[in-house]
Amino acid sequence: MDRSYTRCKIAVRINDRKGGAAMAPPQNTSKRPYAPRMTPEERREQLLDTVLRVIVERGVHKVSIESVAEAAGVTRPVVYKHFDDSAALLRASLAREEARAIAQCYEAGEHAKNEVSSGSQPDFGLALFANLLRMFTASPELWSAILQLVDSATPQFRKTIDRGREQAADMVAQLLTAYTNTGDENVDADRDLHARLIVALIIESGRLILARPEEFTIERLVAGMRFATACSAARTRT
């Protein structure tokens, strides 16, 4: 091959590298940003917070390893490191939210006792009812998720839900026994039934507060409870 031709070809290549010819645009090699480093406990809590958000925003049936990973901004292996599958996610979420709900119930009972002791509310039953309702306005996401879990519960989850209701009813029964006395032995002896009725009423009232808060306020619901109690007392006297 002619040496002069070879030298010319090499010169053209060098010129191209220096910018004589258009170069291919650089490729985007940026990687997905890593999720912030957390301790295992912190990461687990973050994932359970995300489960709560997915339930509230999209429904229980949308909870999956993929949906939680996407909403939390992590990869699926990060979620799998803490939970085996979506059922495990829901079980852990239900257990955590149940514990939170029970703690709020006890706190509501303490507030009711303080109101009666201070004289700001003479009727303990109404004070307890009002303070239990305030749980729904104080933690709407928590209670919205709990109610969705209640409605969509499988038989396995139903046992956990029933246990939580029993615990709440036991707490209410103890408070009613300690702080109310109608003077009617038949009424006072059936605190267990009254407690279950109150828990059922609280759950349904909570649904109204969450679904239509402007229409069903705590004040309106407490007034309804006061009216129902007055009617029941009037029938008892007659």
pLDDT of residue 223: 95
Tell if the pTM clears 0.85, that is, is over it. no
Q: Region 82-95: what's the mean pLDDT?
A: 92
Which CATH code, of 1.10.357, 1.10.390, 3.90.1720, 1.10.12, is assigned to 95-237?
Answer: 1.10.357
Any idea of the CA torsion for 218, 222, 225, 226, to the nearest 10 degrees?
A: -170
Structure tokens at 134: 């305030």
Taking only Cα atoms into account, the Rg of the chain, rounded to an integer number of angstroms, comes to 31
Residue with tokens 């060098």: 14
Asked if pLDDT for residue 56 goes beyond 70, the answer is yes
Question: Could you tell me the pLDDT band of residue 118, with boundaries at 50, 70 and 90?
Answer: very high
The answer for residues whose C-beta is within 8 angstroms of residue 152's C-beta and 6 or more apart is 60, 61
Structure tokens at 138: 């104080």
Q: In this predicted model, what pLDDT tens digit does every residue of 126-165 receive, in sequence order?
A: 999 999 999 999 999 999 988 888 777 677 677 778 888 8
Question: Could you tell me the pLDDT band of residue 186, with boundaries at 50, 70 and 90?
Answer: low
> What is residue 83's DSSP assignment?
-
Question: Could you tell me the pLDDT band of residue 176, with boundaries at 50, 70 and 90?
Answer: confident
Q: How far is CA 25 from CA 12, 22, 29, 99, 235, in A?
A: 20, 9, 12, 56, 87
Residue type, 127: A
Question: Could you tell me the pLDDT band of residue 22, with boundaries at 50, 70 and 90?
Answer: very low
Asked if pLDDT for residue 5 goes beyond 90, the answer is no
Distance CA(214)–CA(136), nearest Å, equals: 13
- Residue 51 CB-density burial (10 A; 0-12 exposed, 13-18 middle, 19+ buried): buried
The answer for residues whose C-beta is within 8 angstroms of residue 179's C-beta and 6 or more apart is 112, 113, 116, 124
The alpha carbon of residue 104 and the mean position of all alpha carbons in its chain are separated, in whole angstroms, by 13
Residue type, 201: L
Q: In this predicted model, what pLDDT tens digit does every residue of 205-237 receive, in sequence order?
A: 999 999 999 999 999 999 999 988 877 665 555
Distance CA(192)–CA(125), nearest Å, equals: 14
Each domain of the chain, given as residue ranges in start order, spans 36-83, 95-237
Instruction: Answer yes or no: same fold for 36-83 and 95-237.
Output: no
pLDDT of residue 21: 46
pLDDT of residue 121: 86
CATH 1.10.10.60 corresponds to the domain 36-83: yes
pLDDT of residue 152: 73
